[in-house]
Amino acid sequence: MQQRMAAEPEKYRKRKMMVEHPFGTIKRWMGQGYFLMRGLAKVGVEFSLSVLAYNIKRVITILGVGAMVQAVS
């Protein structure tokens, strides 16, 4: 891993910016520091709900409530 990162540091920086931010946001802003459920299936559902809430929050921030409701209906 170290060799791959050293060979192409720009790819690692880009991945870090694109992927790490949503996870950090979900953990800090949405109070998801750890999973409450146990078991892969239950944790998957819990994480899916957190991601859904994150995505809805982003849509509201970007488009506004009115545009989101119009797009859904």
pLDDT digits 0-9 by tens, 9-48: 888 877 776 666 777 778 787 777 778 889 999 989 988 9
Residue 56, amino acid: I
The rounded distance, in Å, linking the Cα atoms of 52 and 33 is 16
Count: domains in the chain:
1
H helix count then E strand count, the chain: 5, 0
Nearest to 56 by CA among 20, 24, 30: 30
pTM exceeds 0.75? no
Which residues span the domain enclosing 48? 2-72
> How confident is the model at residue 42, as a pLDDT?
92
